[in-house]
Amino acid sequence: MRGGNAPDAAEDVTTAYPELHVLGNPFWGAPPRDDASGLEWTTASRPAFDRLAGLVPLDPPGGAQEVVVAFEDLTPAEQATLTREHGAPDTDRFAAALSELGHVRMGASTASGVRFHLATSRPDDAITAVRAAIPTGPADKTVIAVRPERISTYRVVHPAGRDEYALPG
């Protein structure tokens, strides 16, 4: 299943969907389909996703992308290379690397991992820049995944052979 949000979907596209005769979200004030701020969508099959992607630009050229750089199963010493005092992620490390390519949206840390969420419209360039900023110690424990802002599923670009990445729950 895939899902996401296209906040600037054209009104003629969103109103082409029939109203669903189910209880809607009470905060929207409109039946499920479009709440005038965009199209919140879910598809259950690849053909349904492809049909929707033909109507709504889910991955437009130059569109907003999220890159996640996640370090998993770190030793305490490796984790220390990616965090500041008290275990907060060292976002400055990657902010400096991104320069004109985007920005660090957030960092998160757990007992054995650290991840950074980057916002960019140039994911390939941002990934190249970030890779150069990864310390050598945890480099082999790095997962890099990217997704268009309008799509909820990530595509793993590193390491080779890994198909999926899901945010820790």
Using one digit for the tens of pLDDT, what is the confidence trace for 120-137?
999 999 999 999 999 888
* pLDDT band for position 7 (cuts 50, 70, 90): low
Q: Closest by alpha carbon to 117, among 78, 61, 64, 62?
A: 64
CA–CA gap between residue 169 and residue 160 (Å, rounded): 24
Using one digit for the tens of pLDDT, what is the confidence trace for 87-97?
899 999 899 99
Please state the domain extents for the chain: 10-54, 65-165
Q: Closest by alpha carbon to 64, among 114, 90, 101, 99?
A: 101
Q: What is the DSSP string of 33-56?
A: T--SS-EEEEESSHHHHHHHHHHS
Instruction: For the chain, give the percent of residues with pLDDT over 70.
Output: 76
pTM over 0.85: no
What pLDDT sits at residue 116? 96
Look over the chain and give the mean of its residue pLDDT values, rounded to a whole number. Answer: 83
pLDDT at 22 over 90: no
What pLDDT sits at residue 102? 94
List own/partner pairs for 123-132 with CB under 8 A and 24 or more apart: 123/65, 123/67, 125/101, 126/67, 126/98, 126/101, 126/102, 127/67, 127/157, 127/158, 129/97, 129/98, 129/99, 129/101, 130/67, 130/69, 130/94, 130/97, 130/98, 131/158, 132/97
Using one digit for the tens of pLDDT, what is the confidence trace for 52-81?
888 778 888 899 999 999 999 999 999 999
> What is the pLDDT averaged over residues 83-107?
92
